[in-house]
Amino acid sequence: MSFKTIAFFNNKGGVGKTSLLYHLAWMFRELGVKVLAVDLDPQSNLSAAFMQDEELEEFWPEGPHPRTILGAVSPLMEHEGDIAPVEAVRIADNLSLVVGDLGLGEFEERLSKGWADCLTDDRPVARDGFRVISAFHRIIAAARDRGGFEVALVDVGPSVGALNRAALVASDHVVIPLAADLFSLQGLRNLGRTLRKWREGWNERRVRRTVPPGLELPLGSMAPLGYVLMSPSMRQNRPVQAYARWGARIPAVYAHSILGSDAVLPSACLAEVKHFKSLMPMAQDARRPVFMLTGADGAIGGHAAAVRDTYALFEALAQRVVSDAGIRSEPIHRA
Ligand SMILES: Nc1ncnc2c1ncn2[C@@H]1O[C@H](COP(=O)(O)OP(=O)(O)OP(=O)(O)O)[C@@H](O)[C@H]1O
Ligand SMILES: [Mg+2]
C-alpha cells in the first residue's frame, strides 16, 4: 500500500473538476479507502460542497484562520517560521477535508518568488524558497501521518499560476477533467506544455545543494492517470453534434500533448460522467453525492436508476484510480 496525492487539474474553468473530486472522494470512503480531500482553490468550492455555510463560517472568522489551509501557510507568508499543523475536518468515517480559504490567493506572490529563490546560490534565501514551495506537500504529509489516509485528492482553481504550480509539485498524479469542446481541446495542449515545464523546473530545483537538510521534498512527478470526459449538456449553448466531433479528437490530442506519444490509448479515458440533471440540485440539498441519494431525497423511478448507474460509474472510476495510482495492490470492493 502506498499513499498518493492526486490533483484534479485543467486550466479551463467550470468543466466540473470540483464536482468530480467531491463524488470520487465519497466513493473512496464508500469502498473503505481512507481519503483526504484538500481544497487548494481560493474559490473554496470544494469546502462549500462538503460543509454548510454556518459550519464554514466558523473556519473563516475575522482575523487569523488557524484551521484552514491559509492558517497552515500563514507563518511562512508572514516570514514568522515554517508551516503550522492544520487539523483536517472529519466529514464522515474515512473522509476528511483540509478546509480551503478565500485568502489563499495571498500566498501566490510568496510562491512565485520562492520558485525563483530555489535557484539562487544565496543559501538562506534558497532554503526559504524550498520551504515555501514544499509547504503544500508537507501539510498533506503531516495530515496523512495523523489521520492514516491512503490518498489525498487535491482541488485547484483554473489557472496556471504559482499556486497551482506548487499544488501540482505536491502531486504524484494528475487527473484531467475535460469537456468535448474546442476549449478543452485547446486547453489540453497548453496543459501538456505547462505540466512538462513544471515537472522539469522542479527536477532542476530539488537536486540542488541548497535544499535544507532534513526537509521532506515532494518528487513532483505529476504523472497523468488519464482524463475524465464531462457531459456535453453542461454547456447547453453548443450543439450536441459538435460534441461527438470534438470528442473524437481528444484521445489523439491527449496522447500527443500530455503523454508526448503518437500511440493513442483508449484506456486514457478514465470515465465519462453524464449530466446529473435534476439529481444535482437534489444532491446539493441533501449534501451528499448523487450516487447516495435515496427515495426519501426524491430519487424514485427513473431517478433511482440514474443513481445506480452513477454509483457503478464512480465505483469503477475509484477502482481504476486505486490500481493505476498504486494506492493498493489488491482490488477494492464494497464492504
Ligand atoms: N455531472 C454534472 N451534472 C450536472 N451539473 C454538474 C456536473 N458536474 C458539475 N456540474 C455543475 O457545473 C458547475 C461547474 O462545476 P464545478 O464547480 O465542479 O466545475 P470546476 O471545473 O470545478 O469549476 P472551476 O474551474 O470554477 O473550479 C457547477 O454548478 C456544478 O454544480
Ligand atoms: Mg472547482
DSSP output for 162-219:
HHHHHHHHT-SEEEEEEESSHHHHHHHHHHHHHHHHHHHHHHHHHTSTTSPTT-----
Question: Which residue's alpha carbon is nearest to atom 2 within ligand 1?
Answer: 275
Residue 309's CB is within 10 A of a number of other CB atoms, namely: 13
In 3D space, the residue among 112, 101, 128, 99 whose CA is nearest the CA of residue 163 turns out to be 112
Cα(204) to centroid of ligand 2, in Å?
30
Question: Does ligand 1 have an atom closer than 6 angstroms to the CB of 308?
Answer: no
Cα(283) to centroid of ligand 2, in Å?
17
Distance CA 86, CA 140 (A): 9
Per the domain annotation, does 231 fall within a domain?
Answer: yes
Q: pTM of the entire structure?
A: 0.97
CB 101 within 8 A of CB 38: no
Sheet holding 151-155, edge to edge: 89-92, 95-98, 35-39, 151-155, 4-8, 173-179, 223-230, 269-273
Domain count, the chain: 1
Tell me which residue range forms the domain holding 243. Answer: 4-324
Ligand closest to 11 (CA) is: 1
Distance CA 321, CA 257 (A): 21
What is the pLDDT, as a whole number, of residue 79? 95
In 3D space, the residue among 177, 98, 178, 105 whose CA is nearest the CA of residue 143 turns out to be 98
Per the domain annotation, does 333 fall within a domain?
Answer: no
Question: Does ligand 1 have an atom closer than 6 angstroms to the CB of 276?
Answer: yes
Per the domain annotation, does 101 fall within a domain?
Answer: yes
What is the pLDDT, as a whole number, of residue 85? 86
Three-state secondary structure call for residue 269: strand
What is the pLDDT, as a whole number, of residue 95? 98
The full DSSP string for 214-231 is: T--------EEEEEEEEP
What is the CATH number for 67? 3.40.50.300
Low-confidence ranges of the chain (pLDDT < 70): 1, 232-240, 335
What is the pLDDT, as a whole number, of residue 266? 86
C-alpha cell at 68: 484552514
| Rounded alpha-carbon distances, angstroms, from residue 55 to 49, 89, 156, 158 | 12, 11, 22, 26
Q: Hey, which of 18, 154, 314 would you mutate to test ligand 1's pocket, going by the most ligand atoms within 8 Å of its Cβ?
A: 18
Question: Which residue's alpha carbon is nearest to atom 11 within ligand 1?
Answer: 16
Distance CA 182, CA 159 (A): 18
What is the pLDDT, as a whole number, of residue 335? 63
Question: Does ligand 1 have an atom closer than 6 angstroms to the CB of 74?
Answer: no
Per the domain annotation, does 54 fall within a domain?
Answer: yes
Q: Hey, which of 8, 12, 19 would you mutate to test ligand 1's pocket, going by the most ligand atoms within 8 Å of its Cβ?
A: 19
Ligand closest to 155 (CA) is: 2
Size of the chain in residues: 335
What is the pLDDT, as a whole number, of residue 333? 78
The residue written with cell numbers 493505476 in the block is: 324
What is the pLDDT, as a whole number, of residue 11? 87
Max distance between CA atoms of the chain, in angstroms, equals 67
